[in-house]
Amino acid sequence: MPAVAKGGRRGGAAPRAPKPGGSPGGLGASRWTPWLYLAPALIVLAALLVYPIYQLGLISFLEYTQAQVSGGEPATFQGFANYTELFSDRQFWEVLVATLVFAAVCVFSTLVVGCGLAVLLTRIRAVPRLALMLAALGAWATPAITGSTVWVFLFDPDFGPVNKMLVWVGLSGFEDFSWTYDRYSAFALVLFEVVWCSFPLVMVTVYAGIKAIPGEVLEAASLDGASNWRIWRSVMAPMLRPILVVVTIQSIIWDFKVFTQIYVMTNGGGIAGQNLVLNVYAYQKAFASSQYSLGSAIGIVMLLILLAVTLIYLRLLRRQGEEL
């Protein structure tokens, strides 16, 4: 018979206990494995994002005009002088308010149109659904400058078909009406174009989320007598909250930074700058006036505002108990 070791075990010696702090299976080394996979992307992001932001912030603290760019004078450190000049400029505050209001209306309109059409896609047959998807993706794929040019032609006071159609249906006051002359009609025209090229992302993303909701849940709500609006508000929207968070943040960033539509459709910001937004205002300061340091300061202010709005939005969602 084989010998029985002390302690009741047959055969060889008892197995060794694992050392304190040891990591069986090499778990300690595997902690760095995700970072090794992320390293190439992080390096690219550092080169394409972190370094430009650093340069932007650095220039905002310098006196950097055409004289410094051409090498005629050395760049000198100005501290917060550029920000002081910027914040004491009344036009900056007017443009900031206009940008915030315009971006908020664009985000709200884009979400309403995108979510509404996403729900519509679930209620129509295959052929009209395919036609709507193709039309939306066509708008999404159109370059911003091309779409802006087309919209300007559609609303042209002389040759645009929109004014002609409005006159044909009996609406007075649209003969030779210029949509870009008045401040609010110009902003409305740009709003239409921004929503037109932005809603497809919301529509496709929300539609995919709706299709992932179990049909039994929607059927049960319908059998309980819930209206379409109640089903959306009480069933779909809570289940789609993570998706809505993503598309909302993306819409905030895109609409707050709108440049091409304003620049093309209002010819650089409208009459006497009445349709300026921060991105176009920064462009005018930096490149039209060669005040590169002021333009950089505006860029840093925009970055901080976007970070603040995004963090506040995420914080409000966390207070409501949402997992992000």
Q: Is the per-residue pLDDT at 8 higher than 50?
A: no
pLDDT in tens, 143-167: 999 999 999 999 999 889 999 999 9
Return d(Cα 301, Cα 21) in angstroms, integer.
47
- The whole-chain average pLDDT of the chain stands at 87
Kindly state the average pLDDT of the residues 312-317. 81
C-beta separation of 278 from 266 below 8 A: no
Which distant-in-sequence residues (6+ apart) come within 8 Å of 219 by Cβ? none
pLDDT category of residue 16 using cuts at 50, 70 and 90: low
Q: Is residue 72 part of a domain?
A: no
The fraction of the chain above a pLDDT of 70, given in percent, is 90
Name the domain count of the chain. 1
Q: Is residue 10 part of a domain?
A: no
CA distances from 225 to 101, 195, 218 (A): 38, 33, 11
Kindly state the average pLDDT of the residues 136-144. 93
User: Domain range spanning residue 151?
Assistant: 53-64+79-319
What CATH number is associated with residue 189? Answer: 1.10.3720.10
Q: Is residue 2 part of a domain?
A: no
Return d(Cα 81, Cα 196) in angstroms, integer.
41
pLDDT in tens, 51-64: 899 999 999 999 98
pLDDT category of residue 174 using cuts at 50, 70 and 90: confident
pLDDT category of residue 6 using cuts at 50, 70 and 90: very low
Q: Is the per-residue pLDDT at 315 higher than 60?
A: yes
Which distant-in-sequence residues (6+ apart) come within 8 Å of 210 by Cβ? 118, 119, 122, 236, 240
Q: Is residue 29 part of a domain?
A: no
Q: Is residue 175 part of a domain?
A: yes
Q: Is residue 8 part of a domain?
A: no
Q: Is the per-residue pLDDT at 320 higher than 90?
A: no
Only one residue has tokens 């519509």, namely: 120
Q: Is residue 100 part of a domain?
A: yes
pLDDT category of residue 279 using cuts at 50, 70 and 90: very high
Report field, pTM of the whole predicted structure over 0.85 = no
The fraction of the chain above a pLDDT of 90, given in percent, is 59
Q: Is residue 246 part of a domain?
A: yes
Highest mean pLDDT among 95-104, 156-165, 170-179: 95-104
Closest CA to 252 of 194, 205, 204: 194
pLDDT category of residue 126 using cuts at 50, 70 and 90: very high
